[in-house]
């Protein structure tokens, strides 16, 4: 659902009374209250990523939705994100310093078109190293990643389904079976 159009990131961030789940996409305030299946999938992924990160020192920091400014008219709230240890926010930080290394978006009916469209493009141009788009309709995970930190674009695209493992070169030793994250 769209609330307001024509806002800048500064105007959006200056207010703290937006409904939960609000994002600014191309100057338009979009509100999305995720459904139960979305939240359960997100919870499974976050729990596994957090367990992996906490199993050994130096594995960075995962987090849930946070305002992420990616342009003059874009403030996204990725469902899940991870930053490497080198990019971990300082204690007490109120926001991330730059884009996360990994962003995860779980399909919601009102935002999927943005996730696979303009948001994917902005994450790519904004420097996100890897993007996972979890498609709850097809029970697949679309992975977009850079094969090298210097790659200008996502140059490796995967579509993972049941029977396959979701892994990342960013997360050595992390892996989750794709079919285990979907609600049955």
52-84 per-position pLDDT tens digit: 999 999 999 999 988 888 888 888 889 999 999
Rounded CA-CA distance 19/50 in Å is 27
26-37 per-position pLDDT tens digit: 888 877 777 888
| Domains, the chain | 34-66+76-181 (3.90.1570.10)
Pairing of strands 80-83, 102-106: antiparallel
Contact in structure between 143 and 130 (CB atoms under 8 Å): yes
Tokens matching residue 20: 């939960």
Q: What is the pLDDT of residue 51?
A: 98
What is the mean predicted confidence (pLDDT) over 4-20?
81
DSSP for 1-51 reads: -B---S--HHHHHH---SPTTEEEETTEEEE----HHHHHHHHHHHHHHHH
pTM of the predicted protein model: 0.88
Q: What is the pLDDT of residue 97?
A: 77
């Amino acid at each position: 659902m769209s609330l307001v159009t024509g806002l800048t990131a500064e105007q959006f961030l200056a207010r703290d009374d937006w409904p939960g789940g609000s994002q600014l996409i191309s100057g338009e305030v979009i509100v999305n209250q995720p459904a139960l299946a979305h939240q359960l999938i997100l919870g499974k992924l976050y729990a596994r990523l957090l367990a992996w990160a906490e199993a050994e020192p130096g594995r960075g920091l995962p987090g849930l939705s946070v305002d992420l400014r990616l342009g003059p008219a874009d403030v996204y709230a990725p469902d899940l994100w991870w930053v490497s240890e080198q990019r971990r926010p300082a204690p007490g930080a109120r926001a991330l310093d730059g884009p996360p290394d990994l962003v995860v978006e779980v399909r919601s009916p009102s935002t999927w078109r943005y996730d696979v469209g303009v948001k994917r493009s902005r994450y790519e141009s904004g420097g996100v190293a890897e993007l996972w788009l979890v498609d709850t309709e097809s029970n697949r995970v679309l992975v977009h990643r850079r094969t090298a930190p210097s790659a200008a674009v996502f140059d490796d695209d995967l579509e993972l389904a049941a029977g396959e493992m979701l892994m990342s070169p960013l997360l050595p030793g992390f892996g989750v079976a794709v079919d285990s994250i979907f609600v049955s």
